[in-house]
Structure 1
Amino acid sequence: MVRLEDPLDIGGLTVPNRLYRAPLLECAGNGAGAVDALVSHLEPAAAAGAGLLCQGATIVRGPGGCAAPNMTYVDDPDFVSRLSELTETVHDHGSTIAIQLEHGGLRSMETWHAGYRAEHPDYQQLAVSPLPPLLSLADRLGILSYDPVVMSTEEVYDLAADFGRAAGYAVDAGYDAVHVAGANMGIVHQFLSPFYNRRKDEFADGVRFLEVVHDEIRDRAGDVPLLTKVPAETEAPPGVPRLTSRETVHVCRRLADYGYDALVPVTGSVFWDASIVRGAFPEQAWRDDRFHDGYVEAFGGRLRAALVVLGNWLESFVYDFEPAWNAGICRAVRRTVDVPVLAEGGIRTRGEIDRLLGHSCDMVGMGRPFYAEPRLPARLLGSTPETSVVCASCNNCTVPQVTGVGGVCRTPDVLRKAGRLRRDGAYERPDECEGSPPSRE
């Protein structure tokens, strides 16, 4: 029987237990306070006992390429070297840390954020292929704004080299693992997806890009444990070319055989929609006057912002919360590969964790619940099946991030529950000062 408290080997890295903080938007940027902001976001989870922390998506090449405001670039070795303060802090608590590497491609802010586009009119999107017809229509209707640059074969190799360089900088700064952002409609997902990828060269096979990224990372960062998300586009609209679950399993088998040390299969769509953050309509966040001007700036006016709110409301009926919604694809992948499979998405109770481990996955991750409970691991490790997170999956934490603010819980009922638990000492760990550094075989 596999337990949450059991250690796990990922590519020679011994992770002290099987609970990880999934990648989140820290919105720390690259300014003078970036490192302090990242430490404040991530240290509580390490201090509370999380086995692995995944720093949220960092961009391997600038300018542009950010999918959301205030994402952190990791293309400057001097800046990345300063992140050793973060990795040392995590290691002091006996935990491990991975950095997630990404480029937004067609999903970048220069596509959807009107204010950013007006400020940077010369920025173009990196594209795997010419725009799919549906996105061309959205561009003509003014819903989105595209000025894509379709990469040549040589330019694709250059982008893969950027992933490798960023990984090398990160390992030098003390990161224990590298996590390639392979889903959520970023550039890696776009290579894998038949909706986006209609190339005629070797990269018509989207897995080839992940293979080249693997080789670049190995050349520049050595044998660092290497993880990637892999999408199954199960939520794509009917008639749209998609990566099926069966094809995703095949992709995962190829990546494991090629040398990836762990895989994170997830379901979603071909669009950036609520399928990746299933839950309730975040009415409170949309009505919050503090963010109103930011929404108007991001979406290009009051009417357009109102239409986005309407679309989000309609999506909430389609993508209502579903417990452990990626369990099925994780289980299918785990049956076919011999590397650890990590599951995230809608995991909310210790009982669910116990049912998933050893059956559907080898490690479990949570994202949004950490916004409400930064020290959540202290409650889950060693707990009973009835233990549940306080997160209501209401998404009031995520919507304001389009304005550039950090992700925090803003739902009063949830905050009151977390406050009561804090006063009762639920987030205290008697062994906090007894952590030891992670080991590598």
Structure 2
Amino acid sequence: MPSAPGVRLDAPVEVGDVVLPNRLYRAPLLECAGNAPDAVETLVADLEPAAESGAGLVCQGATIVRAEGGCAAPGMTRVHDPDFVADLERLTDAVHSHGGKIALQLEHGGLRSMETWHHGYRRANPDLRQLAVSEPPLPLRALDRAGFLSYDAHVLTTDEVYDLAADFGRSAAYAVDAGYDLIHVAGANMGIVHQFLSPFYNRRDDEFGDGARFLELVREEIRDRAGDVPVLTKVPAETEAPPFVRRRLSAADSVRLCRRLDAAGYDGLVPVSGSVFWDMSIVRGEFPARSWRDGRFRRGYAAAFGSRWRAALVALANWVESRRYGFDPAWNADLCRRVRERVDVPVFCEGGIRDRGTVDDLLGDACDAVGMARPFYAEPRLPARLLRESESGGEDGVDSGTSVACENCNNCVVPQAAGEPGVCRTPSVLRRVGERRLAGEYDWPSESTGIDTDGDGESDA
């Protein structure tokens, strides 16, 4: 897509035949709603504030397309049941009532699932086996022998790969019936789609040895079952993998994948750089010392990792990773820029974007829309601050100095392994958010802002 400097954050953008009213989106997060009786209420409480405060697109975090297995973390929601998904119309209606659009992210964890790493879950579900693209790679088998992971992997046959793609298509169809505007395929972060794409995981000798073929099949299934709903996918580059990993996706590989997926009918692409392992390359920033030391979570950590001493070893590994993967502002921008130069569909950029000035620099250059994730744990109504025009701003009235409250400390993330919800727990951040709330910075009087909330290209003032 050609460069278009000066693209405004409040300008609409087309994704397939859906028009997003602006270019700011809430990126997928773990909402920890599960499928409990109050799951829909939890999702509405988590997601509606982003739309209510002006986000053009709200992405519901990774949901699992099968009834058993495949959850990468506690609290993930399953979307295999049409009756449950139909009830999510209450969520889509809530988002639409504020002029926003909503996407559902579809996922299966494969080798990254809880049946691999969560000791308590394995004990409660002894018959569950991980779905695998190929036999687990040697480094993962070594962790299995050491007792930190547990593999009893079932390598998918060719027919079973087709069945899995059909499950993605079925869940997409349920979502469209419930009012979701877009489908977002979780193609990175070491889920099973990533495992198909990655030469580290994929050593198949059938048609799916070409990893992109699975994503092409998923697109075909969604089109056949859900119609013309626009589909996005994350596309990984494994540039942050440790040096001993020889088989990996380079940035050039990721660009080639994006070009192929553009040709296959994907309507938007989210290029992301990371590793071949589930590590802090995904959530770069500080070591979350506060959460590891919090006595409220110790029992949950011990249940998840097998014992307190195993939990301590995981914490040590987390500290080591934090030394390698410190916070890097807008860490996917260069990859997004390379992709955007070679494809004809919108490119979405997320990862380490923390202020309005960076957002404005990225739009029309590295990407067509900008997303944030962890900052929403602290500021559910963050868009109101980022989209608001200010008398103290530049020529266009925008305050380019507006930044998020998030300190990239990751204290919101680690307790999720113990089944805790994703919320900000850092006092300095919460204090700052409270002050901003009292000052009215999260108020969003859309009728007086001039923001186009319905995507028709006209101001709604």
Give, in angstroms, the shift of residue 439 of structure 1: 7.2
Residue 393 of structure 2 corresponds to none
Equivalent in the alignment of 2:395 = none
Deviation at 1:431, TM superposition (A): 2.0
Q: Tell me whether 1:110 sits opposite 2:110 in the alignment.
A: no
The match for 1:14 is 19
1:271 match: 277
Residues in 1 aligned to 2:327 and 2:453: alpha-carbon distance in whole angstroms: 37
Which of 416, 419, 423 is the matching residue for 1:404?
Answer: 419
Structure 1 residues 239, 13: closer, same or farther in 2, change over 3 A? same
1:32-431 alignment, distance < 5 Å: 32-240=37-245, 241-381=247-387, 382=389, 383-431=398-446
Q: Over residues 342-381 of structure 1, what are the superposed CA-to-partner deviations in whole Å (9 max), with x where a residue is unaligned?
A: 0000000100001100000000000000011000000000
Deviation at 1:252, TM superposition (A): 0.1
> Residue by residue, what CA displacement relative to the aligned partner does 1:304-338 show, whole Å, maximum 9, x if unpaired?
00000100011111000000000010000000001
Q: Which amino acid aligns with 1:49?
A: G
Structure 1 unaligned regions, length at least 5: none
1:122-143 CA-partner distances (Å, limit 9, x unpaired): 0000000011111111111112
TM-score normalised to structure 2 length: 0.94
Q: Kindly, what percent of the aligned residue pairs are identical?
A: 67
* Counterpart Cα distance in 2 of 1:423 and 1:305: 39
CA distance in 1, matches of 2:41, 2:154: 35
Distance 2:152 2:174 in 1: 31
Separation in 2, partners of 1:432, 1:250: 43
Could you tell me how far apart the structure 2 residues matched to 1:315 and 1:245 are? 21
**For the residues of structure 2 that align with 1:312 and 1:436, how far apart are their CA atoms?**
41
User: Structure 1 residues 153, 326: CA separation in 2 closer, same or farther (over 3 Å shift)?
Assistant: same
**Which deviations, in whole Å up to 9, do the C-alpha atoms of 1:39-66 show, x marking residues without a partner?**
0000100100000000000000121110
Equivalent residues of 1:347, 1:365 under 8 A apart: yes
The TM-score, its normalising length taken from structure 1, stands at 0.98
Cα distance in 2 for partners of 1:438, 1:400 equals 38
Whole-angstrom distance in 2 between the partners of 1:439 and 1:295: 49
> 1:249 and 1:65 mapped to 2: Cα distance?
28
| Runs ≥4 residues deviating over 3 A | 432-440
For 2:271, give the aligned amino acid. Answer: P
Give per-residue Cα distances to partners, 1:97-145, cap 9 Å, x unaligned: 0000000000000000000000000000000001111111111111210
Separation of aligned partners in 2, 1:166 and 1:394: 34
> Contact 1:93–1:435 (CA<8 Å) still a contact in 2?
no
Alpha-carbon distance, 1:436 to partner? 6.0
From the superposition, tell whether residues 304 and 253 of structure 1 become closer, same or farther in structure 2 (CA, over 3 Å).
Answer: same
Structure 1: how far apart are the matches of 2:409 and 2:84? 35
CA distance in 2, matches of 1:197, 1:439: 44
* CA–CA distance in structure 2, aligned partners of residues 304 and 415 of structure 1: 31
Partners of 2:276 and 2:79 in 1: how far apart? 26
SS for the counterpart of 2:241 is coil
Per-residue CA shift, 1:390-424, capped at 9, x if unaligned?
A: 10000000111111121110000000111101000
| Cα deviations by residue, 1:130-163 (Å, 9 ceiling, x for unpaired) | 1111111111111210000000000000000000
State the Cα deviation string for residues 255-291 of structure 1 (Å, max 9, x = none).
0011000000000000000000000010111111111
Summarize the Cα distance change of 1:439–1:133 in structure 2 as closer, same or farther, 3 Å threshold.
Answer: farther
Q: Is the 8 A contact 1:48 1:432 kept in 2?
A: no
Tell me the CA shift for residue 432 of structure 1: 6.5
In the other structure, the counterpart of 2:392 is none
The root-mean-square deviation of aligned C-alpha atoms, in Å, is: 1.3
CA contact (8 A) 2:22 2:455 kept: no
Distance 1:291 1:402, change over 3 A: same
The equivalent position to 2:33 in structure 1, one of 24, 28, 39, is: 28
Q: For 1:218-244, what per-residue CA distance to the aligned partner results, in whole angstroms no more than 9, with x for missing partners?
A: 001100010000000001111311000
Size of the aligned set, in residue pairs, is 440
Contact residue 346 and residue 369 of structure 2 kept, 8 A: yes
C-alpha distance in structure 2 between counterparts of 1:418 and 1:436, whole Å: 25
